[in-house]
A = this chain, B = another copy of it.
């Protein structure tokens, strides 16, 4: 087993249980004495969260897709420089709820921007930094959205969560295509299973890499 710090991201559409699984993964790492930071995108630092607020706040003035993409990568540049890289350099794992695969899936797939600007920004902001492992929590859109809606009952839904089902079908399709294209980095876990089963599958992927026992 290597002691190297790992950069692990969890991806998937709303309602697949990312937040729950990030918390359960953190508990499993704690139980093994593995130092780690838990974070999320967009956001992850006070400054990046302030950029997240600009993106997610519903307002009358439209946010052009290119501007949304630039804000996402601005927040990511802050998050990488001020939180992710310092943790990895200090030997702590970083468990991140969403990263650049989400930009391809949401801005590319969902909002139908071309991949070219996303690739340019990925290079500009990350250089060669990529997650060591990405766990794609996958479930049928109807099922995931029903879960997200139940969770948000009585609360104000953010801008993304009011988008239509077809939007999330496009998002899911891009996630699946990326997993197929990069099977070594991105593993697909069936998120329609019970929560405990999903957690077990995630830990199996870490064990298979000899990152945990």
A50 to chain B, nearest CB (A): 5
The answer on a CB contact under 8 Å between B46 and A64 is no
The answer on a CB contact under 8 Å between B81 and A64 is yes
What secondary structure prevails in chain A residues at the interface with B?
helix
Q: Closest residue of chain B to A70, judged by CB?
A: B74
User: How far is A11 from B130 in the complex, measured between Cα atoms in Å?
Assistant: 39
Which one of A100-108, A117-125, A160-168, A173-181 is at the interface?
A117-125
- When each residue 22-47 of chain A gets 1 if its CB lies under 8 Å from chain B and 0 otherwise, what string results? 00000000000000000000000111
Residues from chain B with Cβ under 8 Å of A75 in the complex: 67
A52 to chain B, nearest CB (A): 10
If A50-B54, A124-B120 touch, whether A64 touches B77 (CB-CB below 8 Å) is yes
The answer on a CB contact under 8 Å between A70 and B73 is yes
Residues from chain B with Cβ under 8 Å of A81 in the complex: 62, 64, 67
User: How far is A75 from B63 in the complex, measured between Cα atoms in Å?
Assistant: 10
Partner of A78, one of B63, B73, B77, B78: B63
Residues from chain B with Cβ under 8 Å of A77 in the complex: 64, 66-67, 70
User: How far is A123 from B18 in the complex, measured between Cα atoms in Å?
Assistant: 36
User: How far is A47 from B66 in the complex, measured between Cα atoms in Å?
Assistant: 14
The answer on a CB contact under 8 Å between A46 and B59 is yes
Partner of A47, one of B47, B51, B63, B78: B63
Give A contacts to B, CB under 8 Å: 45-47, 50-51, 54, 59, 61-64, 66-67, 70-71, 73-75, 77-78, 81-82, 117, 120-121, 124-125
